[in-house]
Structure formats: structure tokens, C-alpha cells
Structure 1
């Protein structure tokens, strides 16, 4: 009787393990077979990923090309938005999601992240004459200060949670926010340090990043991997590790991130 019970238990465990194996994603095998890596990206966040008239370019796009090449595949981009990023990703519209995505606990409840490849953090972007006025959260988080954010991402979350006393304007997209600051329609946009550096470089003498080397809230960037897809996560993590060890990661970042 005990032998029969043990045999039944082992059989049940085998069936369960087999079912899990069949339902768990296996992106690595899929990409190796189809020769295509499908990538979700909002494409509005320099220096990581930017839709330049249909051609996506930036740190993440260069790295995606190299990652795909390592599997003998080509990259196909699926354009998304920060508001729909997680829904599109969890609906399996792509194999991996990139574009300057901050690693957050909220996102990790729905997907895996690769190891971090960039240290970032929330940094104010202001008109240069106002740099001294908006150095701290306390200086920004006031009713008379007009802040702005784009919907759906960590910028909106930070604005609503950490700057709840400020006068918030929501802007439909990320790309046009900076002109709102330049035109004095708002005072402060809190984004990531990397974007603040890029935009200050593009609008030199007009827009300034406030202490991008000391963000208001430090963060790290990573890429989204589907839940349970640990084989692909290990592969991508090793790819990033090799890029770091070789110095190629720094070269790619420095290509797109101005330092002056």
C-alpha cells in the first residue's frame, strides 16, 4: 500500500513538473528558432531609446542589436507607451522590454528584471536661472511650484507620491514636456538623471539638470523579462556581464550620454 502511495505521489509530481515546464516561457529557444527578438520600447527617452522618425536609437537599441546578434537573430521593435508598457509586456507582445526602465517593486510584481546596467535617479530639470531655487524636495514640494509629468511611468508616481503639495500638470507624452519648461508654463520636471543630462546638453544655457550626480531618489535601470523565464534572464544577465567586463557597456553608454 505504501509503495502504491509513493508511486502515485511521484507520478503526480512528474505530471506537475511537466505541466509547469510546458507553461513556463522559453524565450531563448523561441528566439534561436525564429531568428527574431521582439522588443517593446516607448521610444521617447534619450539616451536609452528614441524613435527617430521610425528608427529606434540609443543605448538600449545598440545593446539589443548586439544581444540579438549573439543569438543569430534580428530585432523587431514594438512601440509602446509608459502607460501601457506593463500591459503590453504581460500580454506577450514582445520578448523583452527596454528603454530606460526603472527597476521598481511595483513592476517586479508583474515581471522579472535583468541585473541593473545603469545607475540613475530622480533629478529636476529646470530653467537655468532657477537652479538654486529647486535643489531639494522641500523647495519643489510647494503649492506655488508648477511641476509636470508624463502619465504611466515612475515620473508620474514620483510626482504624485513625493511632490503631492506641488501644482501638478499632466502632459500626454514625454517628448513635449521640455518645451513646457522652456516656455515657462511649468517650473520643474523631475525625470531621471540620464535624461536630465541629455536635455540640458540639447538646450544648453536654457535648461539645466539639478545635481544629476546626486539624485533626489536614486534608482537603477534594467530590462523586463517574462515571469518564470529564468533561462532567458540568465542568458541576458550573462550578456550584460560580458559587456561590462569588456568595457563595451561603458563605450555604448558614453556614445549616447553627453558628459559636458
Structure 2
């Protein structure tokens, strides 16, 4: 389960930082800087890039209102730095080129520890563990529970373009009919309305999405097909920023702050 996995990460998160000479304040007396307002042109703003389409990690609503676990982490980190935060939109497909072009300090939004991303950004420490699992309509029962059941001619698989979901689908479902969807916000509607049979995505997102889509079910989220770490991306030319971010994240893990951010979105397993 997610929170149990987060606990496993916490146990080893502080030791490497001690070797960097970082001192952590762990416990209820940790000091947090007051929240700072930000405008699009705020000087010294922490530029936080995100696709904003991947709840519960990050989502954007209305006129640029950002919400989610990673959004709260980014705001908390900016507060600790006493810098305003500026959220900058990008897409999963453009992340490789736009991370530098948009002058991102960090990127958030349910980003998986994929080796290809190390070519253009550094990674924070792992703050959570997730895995791919199927999302299907309730009326299909357990028909698409396994990779073998999904990887068959005539099975309509859908995946959002440019991320690890597309990569997983191409690798594991070559015999199925794959549709690439341009963004993540409406992809669940395609499954619920019967225009696709299955969407394989992160278990945490699945747990959240089925709350908004009563016609859908997430299959075996506690036993996903694989397992990978969730990280924040950090620009490569600022090792001090990366060290400071890791120290702050380790504190949030050690004090249960990350677990508490997930609870309103997916409950406590």
C-alpha cells in the first residue's frame, strides 16, 4: 500500500543527507516560513513546471488554480526558501525539451523515476512508490486484470501521449489496439463511455479517479504490475537547490507530512 511504501522510503531518507552535511529539524517543532504570495512576474520566484493533469499529484482548474500533493510540496518548499512560487505549464510530451527552455527550477506532477529523464534534469530523493495497474469499467469485472488478458487482438487500450503510461502500453500490449490520447484530463471518460476497454496508469491516480467516475474500477492497486519511485525534477545547474530540496523532502517524510498530504485524496489504505 502507498503509505506503507512511503514509510519504507522514510527509513533510509535521512542518512545520505547527513553525509552532505545537511542538518534536519525533525519533530513537531520544525519551523515553517509563512506563506508568500506570488505573481507571474515576481522576482526570484521558484519556477515550478507541471503538466497539471495528474491528480492527486497535480491538477489545474479554472483560471490557473493548482491543487495536489506535489503542488502542496512545491508550495511548502518555496515557503521554506522564502521565495514566491510561479507555476509554469508544460506537457508530458514536451517535458524533455521544455524543462530547460521554460527555465524550470523544479518540475512536479506525479513524475516517475524514468532513466531517460536524467538526461535533462536531476532527480530529488524518492518521496513515494507507485506502480501501473488497470482501470476498467465495472461491468467488465476482472476481464482485464493481467497483462496477458490485455495484450490480445481486439482489446482497446488507451494511453496518454508522452509519458510512462504510453511507454508501458507500447512495451506490454503490442497485440492490442492502442489509442494515444492527447491529454490526461478526459482519458477516463473514454473508458467510462465504452470507447476504450482499459487504461493502465499509476495505482494512486486510479484510486483517486474512481471516486469521480463511479462506473470505473481500479484493479489490484495494492499489487501493481511494476514498482517505481516518484520524484521531483531539479535543474542540473544548481546542486545547492537539489541538496536543499532533498533535505526538506527528507524532513517531510520523517515527520509524516507526505503521508498526510495523500489522505484527503485517496484515504488511508
Is TM-score (shorter-chain normalized) higher than 0.5? yes
Q: Which residue of 2 aligns with 1:258?
A: 267
**Out of 213, 216, 239, which is 1:230 matched to?**
239
Task: Give unpaired runs (5+ residues) of structure 1.
Answer: 1-32
Cα pair 1:201 1:258 within 8 Å, conserved = no
For residues 38 and 257 of structure 1, what CA distance do their matches in structure 2 show? 27
The answer to whether the aligner puts 1:39 opposite 2:45 as a matched pair is: no
Greater relative CO, 1 or 2 (CA 8 Å, sep 6+): 2
For residues 6-45 of structure 1, the aligned pairs below 5 Å read 34-45=43-54
Normalising by structure 2, report the TM-score. Answer: 0.81
Q: Quick one: which of 96, 101, 106 aligns to 2:116?
A: 106
Question: Structure 2 CA distance, aligned partners of 1:89 and 1:132?
Answer: 39
Confirm or deny: 8 A CA contact 2:104 2:235 kept in the other structure: no
Q: In the alignment, which residue of structure 2 is the partner of 1:26? A: none
Measure, in 2, the Cα distance between the counterparts of 1:243 and 1:221.
15
- In the other structure, the counterpart of 2:210 is 200
Q: TM-score scaled to structure 1, two decimals?
A: 0.83
**Could you tell me which residue of structure 1 aligns to residue 10 of structure 2?**
none
Cα RMSD of the aligned pairs, angstroms, is 1.5
Q: Does 1:134 align with 2:144?
A: yes
Which deviates more from structure 2 when the two are superposed, residues 226-235 or residues 109-118? 226-235
Q: Would you identify which runs of 4 or more consecutive aligned residues in structure 1 move more than 6 Å?
A: none
What SS does the corresponding residue of 1:253 show, helix, strand or coil? Answer: helix
> Structure 2 regions of 5+ residues with no counterpart?
1-41
Which of structures 1 and 2 has the bigger CA Rg? Answer: 1
1:50 aligns with 2:47: no
On the 8 A contact 2:129/2:227 being kept in 1, the answer is yes
Tell me how far 1:52 sits from its aligned partner. Answer: 1.2
Residue 227 of structure 2: SS of its match in structure 1? strand
After superposition, the C-alpha distances for 1:94-129 in whole angstroms (9 at most, x for unaligned) are 110000001111112322110111111111100012
Residue 185 of structure 1 and its aligned partner are, at CA, apart by 0.7
Which secondary structure state, in structure 2, belongs to the residue aligned with residue 250 of structure 1? helix
Could you tell me which residue of structure 2 aligns to residue 215 of structure 1? 224
Q: Deviations over 1:25-49 (max 9, x none)?
A: xxxxxxxx94411100000000010
| d(CA) in 2 for partners of 1:65, 1:177 | 28
Structure 1: distance between partners of 2:173 and 2:101: 32
The answer on 1:115 being equivalent to 2:112 is no
For residue 259 of structure 1, report the CA deviation from its aligned partner.
Answer: 4.5
For the 8 Å contact 2:158–2:181, the answer to whether it is kept is yes
User: Is 2:167 the partner of 1:180?
Assistant: no
* 1:149 equivalent in structure 2: 159
Describe the SS at the equivalent of 1:115: coil
Verify the 8 A CA contact 1:121 1:215 in the aligned structure 2. yes
